A and B are shown apart, each in its own frame.
Chain A
Amino acid sequence: MELKEKLLSSFIAFENEYSSENFFISELRNEAIKNFETTGFPSKKDENWKYTSLKKVLNKEFSIFPKNEHVVEYNKVQPYFIGDIDSYKIVFIDGKYASHLSQTTHEGIDVCLMSAALSEPKYQLIIENYFNKIATQSGLNALNTAFCKEGAYIHIKKNRVSEKPIQIVHLCTGEDPALLLQPRNLIVVDENAHVRIIERHQSMTKNPTLTNSVTEIFASKRCNIDYYKIQNDKSEASLVDNTFIAQDSNSDVCVHTFCFGGKLTRNNLNFFQNGQYIQSTLKGITIIGEKQHVDHSTLVHHLQPNCESHQDYKGIFSDNSVGVFNGKVIVEKEAQKTNAFQANNNLLVNDKATINTKPQLEIFADDVKCSHGCTIGQLDKNAMFYLKTRGIPEKEAKALLMYAFANNVLESVKIPQLNKRINEIIADKLGVKIGFDL
């Protein structure tokens, strides 16, 4: 049976099991499955999916619900946490909440579970005001909404500063031969509040997994959100990350995506600027090889005047890997004095790697500053010779130049331990043991 048919028929059973909980959600799910039935999975005919095909990912016999609950010891998953910081943790194993690995809270801030938020009356108002309000209502997003039941629920209340970062970690044990995961996160940050979040999806075996994740983030006035995505998965793990961020006046939201790949990774990162004097920052480092495929599709929608957006994506592609950058910026007629900047710089390490980069600017206002630039280059031969005459061997010299190419993106990482970890992953990815952190 095709995955789509399997999903449609599974929905009835799923809905029977969960429908009693919340009428509002039940309605949404039913509507969503209808939308998914109409729109289906995206294909290459869809302009937004021109360079990324899900065909090779969808042809597995995915379980839609994991068979059993699996327990995982902390020491097995410890490498996937930024372990040396005091943090809140919301951890899922095969889509189910793992309380023994987590640390949640309700003290001034809510760091807990989507399942609780969807079922308990005290969250009803927030859910009705925010849930599924900015996510797209078709395709993979509709599919996620139809089956949504678990994920992270974070609510930072007015004037609160979450001193500890929050780590959201989705683990997949591989106990099921192939597993489809659909986490759903909701993050609401009230006026003047601050929060830092690290999100990671991690498969622990080589069994195929497909994660179709949807995250909605609401940034109220003057709030500050730092969001870090770490994507460094196994060779058969695929991820479609759909993130939607609505910002109100004077808010500052920064998303870093550190993408070291899995099989296929697609990041749909969407910003909606609904107020004035907003800062939106999108940064990314992508380093992939083998046959990995990474697609960053970004959207920044400038709806109001006097706002800024900055995009800076660096990519390093080797072997037969494929990269895609599709950066869309829309500046509406009302959005005068917009300052939108976009850069996508790529390094192709050999002849077989591919990058498709496509900036897309739609500007309807006349008093704006918008710039974009994309480059595709190779390592500078003279620089290589220079490093080698200083005794630095070929491999290390390459690594040093690649690191130098990407590392300005790390300067804006505000968690030092995370910075260190990303440095380590990069050194590991480039296959060298040189300290980059002096």
Chain B
Amino acid sequence: MLKIDNLHARIDGKSILNGISLDINPGEVHAIMGPNGSGKSTLASVIAGKEDYEIRQGKIIFEKEEISELSADERAHKGLFLSFQYPVEIPGVTVTNFIKTSLNESRKAKGLEEMPANKMLQLIKEKSEMLEIDRKFLSRSLNEGFSGGEKKRNEIFQMAMLEPKLAILDETDSGLDIDALKVVANGVNKLKSSENATLLITHYQRLLDYIVPDFVHVLIDGKIVKSGNKDLALDLEKNGYDWIKKEVAKQ
């Protein structure tokens, strides 16, 4: 579904990604872990299409198509979704209005008619109930004054509405207490199918107790230095990143 081949990217002349290769197939959950500043969030942004980054080398193939030249909205229309570490506050646009615009623009791009209002409201009701979102919340301005948990829950709500093929969840666990984490993880698990895939980006192993990955990759200095199964995450939790750094240095 997603194939990243030897990806190099930089921002303001500073190289952040230094040759990343990654294969994600339908039905799989991948986790990328790594210390601060290793390039995790950059990788998420580059896949999603943030224009500030310059791709120096390599390819991003999504659904058999090279997407490096596509804008963020075009990538979204193809079925990519990025849940933000820090969702942006947009006063003056309600959650409902936002999701309605988002969904209809995606439908328009696929040559579909706008979704009728009653169907839209039904869908919103269904998905917000799944994520235990209060109805009042939907008429508030997008992310404005939301708590950390509300913001993340709102991200997953948008994901549920848009039903992407590949969801990239950037530090979805940060700022969540354990109850909120369970709700969010539960939502993500419910949305999983054999047709879609998930890429988790996280600091801590904690999230992986609730969303169990098929593969764990360790990112250091803009490179994937080690891959393994979920046990690798437990190793990291116990021993930190230093032993991997040393191992890499030896090679």
> Residues of A with Cβ closer than 8 Å to B?
380-383, 385-394, 396-397, 400-401, 403-408, 434-436, 438
6 residue pairs of the A-B complex, CB under 8 angstroms, read A385-B50, A386-B88, A389-B75, A391-B109, A391-B162, A400-B93
Known: A386-B84, A438-B96. A391 touches B105 (CB 8 A): yes
Known: A386-B84, A438-B97, A438-B100. A392 touches B73 (CB 8 A): yes
| 8 Å CB contact of B77 from A381, A391, A396 | A391
In the complex, whether B224 has a CB less than 8 A from a CB of chain A is: no
Q: Does B71 lie within 8 Å of A388, measured CB to CB? A: yes
Q: Does B72 lie within 8 Å of A388, measured CB to CB? A: yes
Q: Does B102 lie within 8 Å of A392, measured CB to CB? A: yes
Q: Does A390 lie within 8 Å of B162, measured CB to CB? A: yes
Q: Does B88 lie within 8 Å of A380, measured CB to CB? A: yes
Known: A389-B72, A391-B77. A400 touches B84 (CB 8 A): no
Q: Does B162 lie within 8 Å of A394, measured CB to CB? A: no
B72 surroundings in chain A (CB, below 8 A):
385, 388-389
| 8 Å CB contact of B92 from A394, A403, A438 | A403
Q: Does B101 lie within 8 Å of A388, measured CB to CB? A: no
Chain A residues touching B, majority SS? helix
B109 surroundings in chain A (CB, below 8 A):
391, 393
CA distance A405 to B141 in the complex (A): 12
CA distance A191 to B62 in the complex (A): 70
- Interface positions, chain B 92-119, Cβ under 8 Å from A, are 92-94, 96-98, 100-106, 109
In the complex, whether B48 has a CB less than 8 A from a CB of chain A is: yes
Closest chain B residue, CB of each to CB of A438: B97
Nearest-neighbour CB distance to chain B for A309, whole angstroms, equals 24
Q: Does B93 lie within 8 Å of A388, measured CB to CB? A: no
Nearest-neighbour CB distance to chain B for A422, whole angstroms, equals 14
CA distance A391 to B88 in the complex (A): 15
A386 surroundings in chain B (CB, below 8 A):
84, 87-88, 90
In the complex, whether B82 has a CB less than 8 A from a CB of chain A is: yes
Q: Does A389 lie within 8 Å of B81, measured CB to CB? A: yes
Q: Does B102 lie within 8 Å of A383, measured CB to CB? A: no
CA distance A394 to B48 in the complex (A): 15
CA distance A237 to B91 in the complex (A): 34
Q: Does A407 lie within 8 Å of B92, measured CB to CB? A: yes
Q: Does A388 lie within 8 Å of B88, measured CB to CB? A: no
- Knowing that A387-B102, A408-B91 are A-B contacts, what are 12 other residue pairs whose CB atoms are under 8 Å apart, sorted by A's residue number? A385-B45, A385-B72, A386-B87, A389-B81, A389-B84, A391-B103, A393-B109, A400-B101, A404-B141, A405-B92, A435-B97, A438-B96
Q: Does B92 lie within 8 Å of A392, measured CB to CB? A: no
Nearest-neighbour CB distance to chain B for A188, whole angstroms, equals 37
Q: Does B100 lie within 8 Å of A388, measured CB to CB? A: no
In order of increasing CB-CB distance, the 3 nearest A-B pairs are A404-B92, A388-B72, A391-B76
- Interface positions, chain B 104-153, Cβ under 8 Å from A, are 104-106, 109, 141
CA distance A406 to B93 in the complex (A): 11
Q: Does A436 lie within 8 Å of B84, measured CB to CB? A: no
Known: A388-B76, A389-B76, A390-B98. A401 touches B90 (CB 8 A): yes
Q: Does A392 lie within 8 Å of B105, measured CB to CB? A: yes
CA distance A405 to B80 in the complex (A): 28
CA distance A50 to B102 in the complex (A): 44
Nearest-neighbour CB distance to chain A for B105, whole angstroms, equals 5
In the complex, whether B158 has a CB less than 8 A from a CB of chain A is: yes
Nearest-neighbour CB distance to chain B for A421, whole angstroms, equals 18
Q: Which of A392, A397, A405, A434 has the most CB of B within 10 A?
A: A392
Nearest-neighbour CB distance to chain A for B86, whole angstroms, equals 8
CA distance A394 to B109 in the complex (A): 13
B104 surroundings in chain A (CB, below 8 A):
434
Nearest-neighbour CB distance to chain A for B55, whole angstroms, equals 16
Nearest-neighbour CB distance to chain A for B125, whole angstroms, equals 14
Q: Does A388 lie within 8 Å of B49, measured CB to CB? A: yes
Q: Does A390 lie within 8 Å of B102, measured CB to CB? A: yes
Known: A438-B94, A438-B97. A393 touches B73 (CB 8 A): yes
Q: Does A391 lie within 8 Å of B106, measured CB to CB? A: yes
Q: Does B88 lie within 8 Å of A382, measured CB to CB? A: yes
Nearest-neighbour CB distance to chain B for A436, whole angstroms, equals 7
Known: A394-B73, A403-B92. A389 touches B101 (CB 8 A): no
Q: Which of A380, A385, A390, A401 has the most CB of B within 10 A?
A: A390
Known: A386-B84, A391-B106, A392-B105. A404 touches B73 (CB 8 A): no
CA distance A436 to B50 in the complex (A): 26
Q: Does A389 lie within 8 Å of B48, measured CB to CB? A: yes
Known: A434-B101, A435-B100, A438-B96. A388 touches B73 (CB 8 A): yes
B93 surroundings in chain A (CB, below 8 A):
400, 403-404
B49 surroundings in chain A (CB, below 8 A):
388-389
| 8 Å CB contact of A391 from B50, B73, B94, B97 | B73
B81 surroundings in chain A (CB, below 8 A):
389
Nearest-neighbour CB distance to chain A for B106, whole angstroms, equals 4
Nearest-neighbour CB distance to chain B for A433, whole angstroms, equals 10
Nearest-neighbour CB distance to chain A for B225, whole angstroms, equals 28
Q: Which of A382, A392, A436, A438 has the most CB of B within 10 A?
A: A438
Nearest-neighbour CB distance to chain B for A383, whole angstroms, equals 5
A397 surroundings in chain B (CB, below 8 A):
73
Q: Which of A382, A391, A403, A404 has the most CB of B within 10 A?
A: A391
CA distance A406 to B101 in the complex (A): 18
CA distance A407 to B93 in the complex (A): 9
CA distance A385 to B141 in the complex (A): 18
A406 surroundings in chain B (CB, below 8 A):
92
CA distance A392 to B104 in the complex (A): 9
